[in-house]
C-alpha cells in the first residue's frame, strides 16, 4: 500500500461484488446499460451493443451462461475481492473496515445481493458498519443521487455516512489513534 494508512475503509455498494455495467442516460432520457469489458472477450459489435436492445440482451444472456459454466457468482467474486483486500491489509498490519451502503429502493431486487454481501463480510470476519439500519426505509428516496439509480447515494447521504464512520473509528480505535 503506497501511503501506509492507519486503516483501510472499504465502502461497498450492492453492485461491488459483481461485474459492473456502465449505465448512462441518452439524450432522450432513456437509460442504457453498457458492459465495456464484455466487448473485449469476443468479437461483439460495439455500435450494436450500444444501440440495439436485442443485441445487448443476447450478449448479456450469453455472458451469464458463460459465468454459470465457470461457476462465477457474485458470492465467489466478492469473496475473492474481500480476501485479497484483507490479505493486503494483514501484511501491512492495518485493520479493515467494510462500510455497506444501502440500496435506496426498499424491498427491491437487491435484497439477495445484500444478503450475499453480508454473508461474505461476516464469513471473512471483516469488521463492518451496515448502513441499512441507518437509513429509514420510508426516507431512502431523498438520498438518491439519480432517481433511476437505487445504488449510489447523494451528497447528503455521504455526509451522514462520513459522520458515522468518523464516530465509529474514534470510538473503536481511540487508544490507538494519536
Written as nine digits, the cell of 113 is 445481493
- Give the ranges where the chain is alpha helix by DSSP (H): 36-41, 46-51, 53-69, 74-92, 111-123, 155-173
Give residue 127's domain range.
8-18+73-173
Q: How confident is the model at residue 160 (pLDDT cuts 50, 70, 90)?
A: very high
Residue 116 lies in a domain: yes
Task: Indicate which CATH number applies to the domain containing 110.
Answer: 3.40.50.1110
Q: Are residues 118 and 39 in the same domain?
A: no
Q: Please give the Cα distance from 142 to 106 (Å, whole number).
A: 13
- Residue 163: exposed, middle, or buried by beta-carbon count in 10 A (0-12, 13-18, 19+)? exposed
Identify whether the C-beta of residue 59 lies closer than 8 Å to the C-beta of residue 66.
no
Dump pLDDT digits (tens) for 23-81. Answer: 556 667 766 555 544 444 455 666 776 777 787 777 767 766 665 555 557 788 788 88
Residue 33's H or E segment, with its range, is strand 31-34
**Could you give the number of structural domains in the chain?**
2
Q: Please give the Cα distance from 63 to 129 (Å, whole number).
A: 33
pLDDT value, residue 46: 65
Residue 178 lies in a domain: no
Written as nine digits, the cell of 152 is 449510489
Q: How confident is the model at residue 118 (pLDDT cuts 50, 70, 90)?
A: very high
Amino acid at each position: 500500500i503506497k501511503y501506509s494508512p492507519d486503516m483501510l475503509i472499504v465502502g461497498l455498494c450492492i453492485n461491488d461484488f459483481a461485474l459492473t455495467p456502465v449505465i448512462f442516460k441518452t439524450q432522450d432520457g432513456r437509460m442504457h446499460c453498457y458492459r465495456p469489458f464484455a466487448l473485449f472477450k469476443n468479437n461483439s459489435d460495439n455500435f450494436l451493443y450500444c444501440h440495439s436492445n436485442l443485441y445487448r440482451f443476447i450478449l448479456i444472456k450469453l455472458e451469464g451462461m458463460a459465468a454459470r459454466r465457470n461457476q462465477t457468482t457474485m458470492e465467489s467474486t466478492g469473496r475473492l475481492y474481500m480476501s485479497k483486500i484483507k490479505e493486503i491489509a494483514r501484511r501491512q498490519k492495518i485493520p479493515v473496515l467494510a462500510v455497506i451502503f444501502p440500496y435506496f429502493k426498499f424491498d427491491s431486487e437487491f435484497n439477495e445481493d445484500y444478503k450475499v454481501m453480508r454473508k461474505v463480510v461476516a464469513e471473512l470476519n471483516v469488521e463492518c458498519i451496515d448502513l441499512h439500519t441507518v437509513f429509514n426505509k420510508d426516507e431512502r428516496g431523498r438520498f438518491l443521487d439519480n432517481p433511476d439509480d437505487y445504488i449510489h447515494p447523494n451528497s447528503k447521504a455521504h455526509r451522514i455516512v462520513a459522520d458515522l464512520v468518523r464516530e465509529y473509528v474514534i470510538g473503536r480505535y481511540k487508544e490507538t489513534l494519536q
